[in-house]
Structure 1
Amino acid sequence: MTSFIANQWYVAAYAREVGRTPFARTVCGESILFWRTNAAAVTAMSDRCVHRRFPLSEQPSHLVDDTLVCGYHGFTYGADGVCVAVPGQRRVPRTARLRTYPVVEQDSFVWVFIGDPALADGARIPRAPWLDLAGWTAVSGREPLAARSSLLVDNLMDLSHETYLHGGYIGTPEVAETPISTRVDEEAGIVYVSRRMADAACPPFYAKSTGITGRITRWQDIEYTPPCLYKLHSRIAPVGVLPNADGSDPDAFHVEVVYAITPETENSTHDFWAVARDFALDDQGVSDFLAESNRTVVMQDVTALNALERVIAGEPDGYQELSINIDTGGLAARRMNAKLAGR
């Protein structure tokens, strides 16, 4: 029995990754092949030929117009996964078809549905519009994590670790010192965690990208939609600068940090990350700095979580875990994920 939450949409790739060269990515233990048709539509199908299970992502498998030719024995498939030709005979076995997956391109991501295709309602996909929206500029990447996806959720739901793990980049003492508020919207299936700092040091991540030299008002408002999408709404402004009464906020800098948390296997995860901003939109230097800095932060998390996975995997089940006030958001996320998994 796996721990994967089925009948859910997961991010499988960035839209920019999918082209006319088929490539495979494992999502929830399933190896899935992605490629674009001549009309630029993304198709997702099993990465295993029905004949002898040869990985269709391996050369010399290749596309011919909108058909995929297996590089082992030449079985040929249409974009719908149905085999249209086999070697040495005219009759194509009726059962010669690949499993296909519902797929949606949205907000720069390619989402794939894992589970019963009849339940694949695209309207249920959570949004991250800033990643592909006028008035915003985004940088993004993906890092492999040799740890279970639940550890990344725990990590992101408790940002107090920024003070200790990410000092010199995004962490300052105020992050760990400031209490959080947690709210759970059971009907919408969202966990909210908020930490608002009225007077905090400005970490290099924001000082160098915004140009602020003094102390700041810093808001961190988390919105997590289990099991797969995490959004951190960040507001940075000089101390005392608050939004206008009508909600407009022209004197602040806004950063949307997005993580798509996609299980690869039981003990490995695709860590998709993106940082969108509403300032210095055309400044490539700012983009390069944010991309490099955020990847450094992500890799610090990866190193820590990989170590934690090794510890947990080597310990007996049922070890005692201590939780405190800063864990309320993470515990709420665990509970919602367990409910989705039917546990």
Structure 2
Amino acid sequence: MTEFARNQWYVAAYGHEVGRELLGRTILNEPVVFYRTEETGEVVALADRCVHRRYPLSAAPSRLDGDNLVCGYHGFTYGTSGTCVYVPGQKRIPRTARISSYPVVEQDSFVWVWIGAPDLADAAAIPRAPHMADPRWKTVSGMEPIDCDYGLLVDNLLDLSHETYLHGGYIGTPEVAETPISTEVDEGAGIVRVSRHMDDAACPPFYSRSTGIEGRITRWQDIEYHAPCLYLLHSRIAPVGVLPHADGTDPDAFHVEVTYAITPSTDKHVYDFWAVSRDFAQDDDEVTAFLHDNNHTVVMQDVTALNLLQQALDQESAGYQELSINIDTGGLAARRILARLAAGGGRPAPAAPAATPAATR
């Protein structure tokens, strides 16, 4: 069984996914049911198994009675803390009739959940993605489950050279694979930064159709991965020769924030939450639809590739040896950090602030 970093925050859902309908998600091999309270709208996260016969509480005909959760099998009823408040056929409620409740924080359009030791759950440790809830940015988003170890998705996102080959015709151009990267690692904070600055590159359809740029571009990709869950790609696009001003402002470029929340579901199943935020064409519905559909296609190309990769790895002999090169520097650093977090089990370091998106500088 995969060793997960349990004493960490993970994205369980987008805020708009959680309402008065019961939502079931499996996080770190733990089934969890989510819903909102009736009056305050706060998110509740409880173990998704009835203490009686292990019936999934997120499954029909389970239901809410006010803020209480009623098991659809025998009627065991639980309050928001997980304590059983009713059992059928008797007045005495067994002392062991309770299910786990999990700390939850709603932040930057995400619902974050803590599966580890409750006394270590510090909301200040959650990394930020402020553009996700900032009206100055227009965001499209989605979620796709992938049948692979979540470390494979981390590898995929930290090495964007695969865009040239897997995503050609969408976001990939030859320059992405040809341009060397620079990598910075903060082991203590659990942050990996990988940068690729292309000063003269072809403009892929993803950007030419959304920005209207014709011809060659300056394209910067600055990755900021906050282990274990949050991935931010700060993307800058401008015609060749257009650079930020001396004072650091950058009004003549187009900026895109690509956000991924990488949440392990089970040993070989991962939730891939993705979002694309932009600081241009805010009211252009055609651009919004194009970026959503185009990025969804790109995500599904990753899904297909990673599903196939996991199947291939499952068939490999135990003696297989990986070959890593310079482009793998960021992914290898992330692996070290994730292994340390999984083995340590201690209190996580406070979250470092995310880089401020260019549009707000």
TM-score when scaled to structure 2? Answer: 0.93
Tell me the residue number matched to 2:332.
331
Tell me the residue number matched to 1:20.
20
Tell me the residue number matched to 1:97.
98
Give the 5 Å matches for 1:32-71: 32-38=32-38, 39-71=40-72
Question: 1:2, CA displacement in angstroms?
Answer: 3.1
Aligned mates of 1:2, 1:149 — CA distance in 2: 10
Is the partner of 1:11 in helix, strand or coil? Answer: strand
Write the letter of the residue equivalent to 2:20: R
Are 1:276 and 2:277 counterparts?
yes
Question: 1:188, CA displacement in angstroms?
Answer: 2.3
Question: 1:175, CA displacement in angstroms?
Answer: 0.4
Tell me the residue number matched to 2:3.
3
Tell me the residue number matched to 1:82.
83
Cα deviations by residue, 1:242-271 (Å, 9 ceiling, x for unpaired): 011111110000000011001111011101
Aligned mates of 2:249, 2:169 — CA distance in 1: 31
Aligned mates of 2:238, 2:306 — CA distance in 1: 32
Aligned mates of 1:69, 1:325 — CA distance in 2: 54
Question: 1:149, CA displacement in angstroms?
Answer: 0.3
Aligned mates of 2:138, 2:70 — CA distance in 1: 39
Cα deviations by residue, 1:25-78 (Å, 9 ceiling, x for unpaired): 011111000000011000000111111111111111111111111111111111
Q: Which runs of 4+ in 1 moved over 3 A?
A: none
Are 1:229 and 2:237 counterparts?
no
**Could you say what the CA RMSD is over the residues aligned between the two structures, in angstroms?**
1.0
Give the 5 Å matches for 1:130-209: 130-209=131-210
Aligned mates of 2:262, 2:303 — CA distance in 1: 13
Tell me the residue number matched to 1:293.
294
Q: What is the number of residues matched between the two proteins?
A: 343
Cα deviations by residue, 1:283-309 (Å, 9 ceiling, x for unpaired): 111111001000100110111111110
Are 1:264 and 2:265 counterparts?
yes
Question: 1:123, CA displacement in angstroms?
Answer: 0.6
Aligned mates of 1:271, 1:171 — CA distance in 2: 20
Is the partner of 1:237 in helix, strand or coil? Answer: strand
Is the partner of 1:341 in helix, strand or coil? Answer: helix
Aligned mates of 2:308, 2:197 — CA distance in 1: 30
Aligned mates of 2:53, 2:190 — CA distance in 1: 42
More displaced stretch, 312-321 vs 198-207: 312-321
Write the letter of the residue equivalent to 2:53: R
Question: 1:281, CA displacement in angstroms?
Answer: 1.0
Is the partner of 2:46 in helix, strand or coil? Answer: strand
Aligned mates of 2:48, 2:190 — CA distance in 1: 32
Aligned mates of 1:318, 1:125 — CA distance in 2: 39
Unpaired segments of 5 or more residues in structure 1?
none
Tell me the residue number matched to 1:218.
219
Write the letter of the residue equivalent to 2:229: C
Question: 1:275, CA displacement in angstroms?
Answer: 0.4
Aligned mates of 1:69, 1:337 — CA distance in 2: 38
Aligned mates of 1:2, 1:116 — CA distance in 2: 18
Tell me the residue number matched to 1:304.
305
Unpaired segments of 5 or more residues in structure 2?
345-361
Question: 1:186, CA displacement in angstroms?
Answer: 2.3
Aligned mates of 2:247, 2:92 — CA distance in 1: 69
More displaced stretch, 3-12 vs 214-223: 3-12
Identity of aligned residues (%): 70
